[in-house]
Structure 1
Amino acid sequence: MKILTIVGARPQFIKAAPVSRALRKAHREVLVHTGQHYDANMSDIFFEELHIPKPDYNLGIGGGSHGQMTGRMLEAIEQVMLKEKPDVALVYGDTNSTLAGALAAGKLLIPVLHVEAGLRSFNRAMPEEQNRVLTDHIAALLSCPTQTAVENLHAEGVTQGVRNTGDVMLDAVRYNAQLAQEAKPLHKTLAQLRVLRGKSAALLEDKGYYLATIHRQENTDAPDKLLTIVEALNELNHPVIWPVHPRVRERKEMARLGDHIRLVEPVGYLDMLMLTGHARMVLTDSGGLQKEALFLGTPCTTLRDETEWVETLEGGWNVLAKIDRADILAKATRAVDTRNGTACSAFGDGNAAEKIARMV
């Protein structure tokens, strides 16, 4: 069969790597990169490190409002589909690229396979929530990462084509964590980070730093929230490494950062695995990093009021923090009992990619 896979953002590249390997054993895959993440540090390096095949199409659509971006992608993806005539369109996650791909396929009556279906934050103000709900109700095949996701779909009346395949991110972490350690031990990763602000990261030690990533619109486009996060990070008693999203870097609130906060350029996936695995704690508003921290045994504080990944909250490895200075500090400095390890069984057995390939 001919599978047209649509990716555009950093988390989708990570998921596509194991799934593409599995798909290409039995099918022909046509890979479309929308260009949603176009910065070389957030796109090219992932294709190189993860050995993802070069995209057959790069649409070069990045920037602009949600409506502008999604509309331009919809038009361009439709033209590719009319030319390629795929049997199935495969989309990942909850980005504008996801929704545009699903809409284009749905209007052309091409079955959609949605990987990471059924996630719900139950916050419709989030663009990601809107994208994932709409995509799930268009899709004919729904690959759920957890049983909770299956139950969310059933509650909305979506029961056909639903399968709990496990989480393909677990596949990716297990496959790449050892490669990362062999390719770049921590000291080498730290030495090669491009520091934009603060002291050299090369002097940091294992479990001697926090790792922060803040990129969601709800935090970065609200000056009071971003300033609150900055003020809380300033009070932490260990250095903070913050791979900064390009659109966040120039926010005026960032000028208030203390010297112990190392702003660095976005890093590749292998470096990010190293930084996550050796951090004392992760502070993030990312969905994927919550899970990667869990899989790698690193405590996490999520700077949001809710999470789609409720399984990560079990056992206290991940906790939610309100955008409040005192709450962030309390959660970030909490004691975590790491003696019993983490429970990852809710996310499958690490063979999600093969199960997804068998769905088409």
Structure 2
Amino acid sequence: MSLSVLTVVGARPQFIKAAPVSHALAAHGNIREILVHTGQHFDAAMSDVFFQELDIPPPAHNLEVNSLGHGAMTGRMLEKLEEVMIAEKPDWVLIYGDTNSTVAGALAAAKLHIPVAHVEAGLRSFNRKMPEEINRVMADHVSNLLLCPTRTAVANLAREGITHGVHHVGDVMYDVTIAAVERARERSDILTRHGLTPKTYAVATIHRAENTDDPAQLAKVIAWLSERGKDTPIVMPLHPRTRKLMEKSGLNPAGIRIIEPLGYLDMAWLTHNSAAVFTDSGGLQKEAYFHRVPCVTLRDETEWVETVQAGWNRLWSVPDYEPRRDITDYGTGACSAKIATLLAA
């Protein structure tokens, strides 16, 4: 009998992380994946393009839950995911990261006594004001298989009393990046389209609630970026939500070229050829390291402490980088195959 794995995704980072794992599950030969899209990111630029570019099969279920507050969105997802899980009767529910879709998938499965596997388990920023931190802690504490990208994540779980079912597997994003760079080299015209020369520009992204919900904080971030833009031109693919908030606050940044949200291949090639990355995104902090591009995190803490310790990343409040070295924790690009093997076992 084949094993059935119900995968819950809903936001851009999850589509990207799910791609290599979906391919590994299909290659295993004895695992049937049921992909469920909660609808958290629903427009074509933030959703459909990733399925197309990364060769992810279309979702078996699209719950179309979006444009709601945290509580309403998570509650609606819980309700609809429970219906799908009851109908599909999966052997595992597979979740990624730290979004509302993640915690809804974890809680719905746990209440139905379906084992939960969490990719990117054990990450901690230790800032409980971040909704992402609450989501990842709750997801970890109801998960049966905790798939950690780093040894620090394993240690974080141990401090919380979670030691059973914990595995250091490496980072799925490294798997994606290796494949994406070669594909983007052939397919992406992002540099030509925007008249960019490699290593002469920086990339910036802003989307976290802690930076966008408070107009004063958003203005502070834009001012910081504008100052850096005097030395190095900054290209900023702008999240639709952030664009609306900037327009509402009357922010018109100098030295920053705002462009449309990008598909994964274009974003990978833009990052790969940049001189620096400025971001509040957890995923892009790591991707900058995978591309060997220095990063500044526009937050007061980061869950990816290895990137800071290895000198490839620093917080914007810190004046300089630590001495630079390679990071071994993220693996060799075979994380997805390890996950498929652990699920099958």
Question: Shorter chain as normaliser: what TM range?
Answer: over 0.9
Q: Using the alignment, how far apart are the partners of 1:270 and 1:116 within structure 2?
A: 22
Question: Where does structure 1 lack aligned partners over 5 or more consecutive residues?
Answer: 193-201
AA at the equivalent of 1:6: V
1:23 is the counterpart of 2:25: yes
- 2:238 match: 244
Do structure 1's residue 265 and structure 2's residue 260 form an aligned pair? yes
TM-score normalised to structure 1 length: 0.90
- Look up the match of 1:174: 178
Contact 2:307 2:313 in 1 (8 A): yes
- Per-residue deviation at 1:336? 9.3
| 1:84 maps to 2:88 | yes
C-alpha distance in structure 1 between counterparts of 2:312 and 2:225, whole Å: 20
For 1:228 and 1:258, the matched residues in 2 are separated by: 11
Summarize deviations over 1:230-278 as a string: whole Å, max 9, x none. 1122222221111111111022466433453111111011111111111
Tell me which amino acid in the other structure corresponds to 1:210.
A
Letter matched to residue 332 of structure 2: D
Per the alignment, residue 16 of structure 2 pairs with 14
Distance (whole Å) between structure 2 residues aligned to residue 171 and residue 238 of structure 1? 30
Secondary structure, counterpart of 1:256 in structure 2: coil
Task: Name the structure 2 match of 1:125.
Answer: 129
2:284 aligns with one of 280, 285, 289: 289
- Offset, 1:182: 1.6
Q: Is contact 2:313–2:321 with CA below 8 Å preserved after alignment?
A: no
Secondary structure at the counterpart of residue 288 of structure 2: helix
User: In the aligned structure 1, how far is the partner of 2:38 from the partner of 2:62?
Assistant: 6
- After TM superposition, the structure 1 stretch with the greater mean CA deviation from structure 2, 122-131 or 234-243, is 234-243
2:316 pairs, out of 301, 304, 321, with 321
Counterpart amino acid of 2:259?
Answer: V
TM-superposed CA distance for 1:21, in Å, is: 0.7
1:38 aligned to 2:42?
A: yes
1:26-62 Cα offsets, whole Å, 9 max, x none, are 2000000000011211100000000001100011111
Counterparts of 1:1-360 in structure 2, within 5 Å, are 1-24=3-26, 25=28, 26-184=30-188, 188-192=189-193, 202-236=194-228, 237-251=231-245, 252=247, 255-322=250-317, 343-360=326-343
- Cα distance in structure 2, aligned partners of 1:203 and 1:142: 44
**Cα shift readout 1:184-205 (whole Å, capped 9, x = no counterpart):** 2xxx21344xxxxxxxxx2321
Structure 2 gaps of 5+ residues are none
Indicate how the Cα distance of structure 1 residues 157 and 336 shifts in structure 2: closer, same or farther if over 3 A, else same.
Answer: closer
* Deviation by residue 1:162-200 (Cα, 9 ceiling, x = unmatched): 00011111111111111111212xxx21344xxxxxxxx
Distance 1:155 1:335 in 2: 28
Report the AA paired with residue 223 of structure 1. P
Aligned residues: 336
Query: Deviations for 1:57-102, whole angstroms, at most 9, x for unmatched residues?
Result: 0111111110000000000000000100001100000000000000
Q: CA deviation at 1:335?
A: 8.4
Shift of residue 358, structure 1, vs aligned partner: 1.1
Amino acid of the structure 2 residue aligned with 1:294: Y
| Secondary structure, aligned partner of 2:114 | coil
**What's the secondary structure of 1:104's corresponding residue?**
helix
- Partner Cα separation in structure 1 for residue 321 and residue 17 of structure 2: 32
Amino acid at match of 2:337: E
- Note if contact 1:231-1:257 (Cα within 8 Å) is conserved in structure 2: no
Structure 2 counterpart SS, 1:2: strand
Show CA shifts across 1:196-243 (max 9, x none): xxxxxx232111111000000000001111101111222222211111
CA distance in 2, matches of 1:238, 1:336: 22
Q: Do the aligned residues in 1 keep the contact of 2:191 with 2:197 (CA within 8 Å)?
A: no
Measured in 1, the distance between the counterparts of 2:202 and 2:249 equals 17
Separation in 1, partners of 2:254, 2:192: 18
2:322, 2:226 → 1: CA distance?
A: 22
Q: Secondary structure at the match of 1:40?
A: coil
Please give the alpha-carbon distance, in whole angstroms, between the structure 2 residues aligned to 1:170 and 1:254.
Answer: 37
- Using the size of structure 2 for normalisation, the TM-score is 0.94
Task: Decide which moves more: 21-30 or 148-157.
Answer: 21-30
Q: Report SS of the residue matched to 1:312.
A: helix
Q: Distance in 2 between matches of 1:221 and 1:42?
A: 20
